[in-house]
Amino acid sequence: MTNAVSDRKRDPRTPEEVKITEEPRPPETDPTLGIQVDRNKEGEPKHRIVAIGDSLTHGFQSGAIFNTDLSYPAIIARELGWSGQFRYPAYGGYGGLPFNIELFARDLERKFGEKIDWFETPLAPFYARQFADEVEDYWERGPGARNPAVTGINHALAVYGWDLRDALERTPAICKSEMKAPKDSLLNQIVENHNNLAALRVLSDLGQNQNSTLFDLAGELGNDGGIETLIVFLGANNALPAVVQLCVVWSEEDRYDDLKRNQIYTVWRPSHFTRELDRIAEKVSAIKARHVIWCTIPHVTIVPIARGVGVKVEPGSRYFPYYTRPWISDREFNPRKDPYITEQQARAIDSAIDQYNQAIVNQVRRARQRRLDWYVFETAALLDRLASRRYIDDPVARPSWWAPYPLPSELAALNPVPDSKFLTSEGQKRASGGLISLDGVHPTTIGYGILAQELVNLMRNQAGVVFRYPDGQPRPDPITVDFTRLIQRDTLINQPPSNIKSGLDFLGWADQTTYLLRRALFFRRACRDFWGV
């Protein structure tokens, strides 16, 4: 870890156990941590890839879970030649759950055109609420309220909004017990029970699995012929709510691991995170998987859902004085009335995440010392190397280990080159952004492709996984993700909505007019003073 910073850079409400640092934690450059393990190469496990995680593994983008066939595990399965066997939940109808911002933008574009004048059209808010009402009816009372028939346990075992405790404890029985009869509210037009509805499709309600967690289901797959590669990518939601809600509430000892009482917290103390991680590592150790990849947690203050405003106090600082809603400009920002977190709070959140990630590294180190073939994948460093405002636009702020991420050639050839800023359009052409979807948090399809490519590299180069064509024949190296296909499938890249010329203006209008964005990204937590509600 790097040297601790002075007390003036520490928010006084930050727990003492959070070690505030000047630079982000240097990433591990060797996924094996320098510990060699003899790999079992006999036979081929029945289940080639299984992934346990949250929204980033589920495939969430633009405020909804819908294109689950383009999640990073599904992309990897295709490159393995195993897409026909890979099972994942589907969310057809009205753009998925809970609210698809891209679909909403395209509907408004068809109704009112691409000019920004429609923001002031009196009919636009009524149409927006009608659209939301139709989405709500489909999932609460229509076909979406019924789980489709399933043929087996999913290989994609991830649910958006879930933190470590959710993954450890939530089962179909618990999800069903929490669901209340939906109300057709005029103001709160977001799908009620949306998180549990989504979870039940992941948990594969086969009748006998009513008390099974994600780890129990992965264990059943392991007992059914074994798992070749298990990916574990959890923990972002132990800190992300602080940025989405612009409200920092640290976990407390008496309720952090209580599923019913921990909803008020937006960021976990490192000690609480580590204890939960210990329980998860124990669960994963019991799963029959040949290789296990543990993903570190991205620094959540980088994603553009919270925009840094003001002039940096010190040249070379990676933080702005305040972080507020992304559509509030520096000129408009008023700390007396606008929601925000401070530079000190943002630094504390990232420092806590660095400690989370060190705990993940420690788990992998202990497992490899026990001769288990576990690996570290540095997702945190991947996002840091793509961070436009934090590092690419400010060379002085770059940590000593930082280097720009070389985009795949197909993405580097796009004009403009995709970056991590908010996506905007000029007519039917993308003007900026491209790696982050319209919710300002989750990747676009090509963004998920980058994540998949890096995991493919680890699987092939470190774990020795054999990638095959669909007919079973081995593929020659190097194994590359089909980015041409992903670009064609990524509608935000090849044909963005023309009414997001100023993407921030669009999101600001949508949120202020309908409250939909704030509710779609609220997940399940209740935070005091959230969004001024």
Residue 164: pLDDT over 50: yes
Res 533: pLDDT: 27
Res 408: pLDDT: 98
- Residue 68 domain-assigned? yes
Tokens of 159: 């649910």
Higher pLDDT, 426 or 516: 426
- Residue 303 domain-assigned? yes
- Residue 123 domain-assigned? yes
- Residue 2 domain-assigned? no
Residue 80: pLDDT over 60: yes
- Return d(Cα 263, Cα 468) in angstroms, integer: 44
Residue 434: pLDDT over 90: yes
Model pTM above 0.75:
yes
Tokens of 141: 């009372």
Res 416: pLDDT: 94
Higher pLDDT, 182 or 281: 281
The backbone region for 371, taken as left when phi is positive above 0, alpha when psi lies in -120 to 50, beta otherwise, is: left
Q: pLDDT by residue (tens digit) across 381-404?
A: 999 999 999 999 999 999 999 999
Q: Hey, is 293 helix, strand or coil?
A: strand
| CB-count burial class (<10 Å; 0-12, 13-18, 19+) for 369 | exposed
CB 245 within 8 A of CB 226: no
Q: Hey, is 465 helix, strand or coil?
A: coil
Q: Which helix (H) or strand (E) holds 48?
A: strand 47-53
Token pair 């289901």 in the structure block, residue: 217
Res 511: pLDDT: 65
| CB-count burial class (<10 Å; 0-12, 13-18, 19+) for 417 | exposed
Least confident of 158-172, 190-204, 371-385: 190-204
Least confident of 102-106, 188-192, 374-378: 188-192
- Residue 343 domain-assigned? yes
Q: Hey, is 429 helix, strand or coil?
A: strand
The pLDDT > 90 percentage for the chain reads 70
CB 271 within 8 A of CB 331: no
- Return d(Cα 243, Cα 306) in angstroms, integer: 6
Count CB atoms within 10 A of the CB of residue 68.
22
Return the top range by mean pLDDT from 77-81, 336-340, 491-495.
77-81
Res 75: pLDDT: 98
- Please state, rounded to an integer, the average pLDDT across all residues of the chain: 89
- Residue 295 domain-assigned? yes
Residue 286: pLDDT over 60: yes
Peptide bond into 478 cis (omega under 30): yes
- Residue 1 domain-assigned? no
Least confident of 31-45, 112-126, 279-293, 480-494: 112-126
Beta strands 156-158 and 424-426, pairing class: unpaired
Question: Model confidence at 522, in pLDDT bands (50, 70, 90)?
Answer: very low
- Return d(Cα 41, Cα 43) in angstroms, integer: 6
- Return d(Cα 28, Cα 361) in angstroms, integer: 8
Q: Which helix (H) or strand (E) holds 131?
A: helix 123-140
Res 148: pLDDT: 84
Cα angle for residues 227, 370, 57 (degrees, 5° grid): 40
Q: The dihedral of CA 269, 31, 379, 316: what is its sign? A: positive
- What's the rounded mean pLDDT across residues 478-502? 91
Res 514: pLDDT: 55
Higher pLDDT, 392 or 520: 392
Res 2: pLDDT: 45
Q: The dihedral of CA 460, 443, 381, 195: what is its sign? A: negative
- What's the rounded mean pLDDT across residues 330-349? 94
Res 516: pLDDT: 53
Q: Hey, is 53 helix, strand or coil?
A: strand
- Return d(Cα 444, Cα 492) in angstroms, integer: 7
Cα angle for residues 57, 58, 62 (degrees, 5° grid): 105
- Residue 249 domain-assigned? yes
- Return d(Cα 463, Cα 293) in angstroms, integer: 9
- Return d(Cα 216, Cα 212) in angstroms, integer: 5
Res 525: pLDDT: 45
CB 349 within 8 A of CB 18: no
- What's the rounded mean pLDDT across residues 131-135? 86
Residue 81: pLDDT over 60: yes
- What's the rounded mean pLDDT across residues 435-443? 94
Domain that holds residue 433: 7-532
- What's the rounded mean pLDDT across residues 407-432? 92
Higher pLDDT, 522 or 220: 220
Q: pLDDT by residue (tens digit) across 177-220?
A: 999 887 765 555 678 899 999 999 999 866 677 899 999 999 99
Residue 278: pLDDT over 70: yes
In 301-419, which ranges are continuous DSSP H helix?
343-369, 379-386, 409-412
Higher pLDDT, 364 or 425: 364
Res 513: pLDDT: 61
Res 528: pLDDT: 39
How many domains are contained in the chain?
1
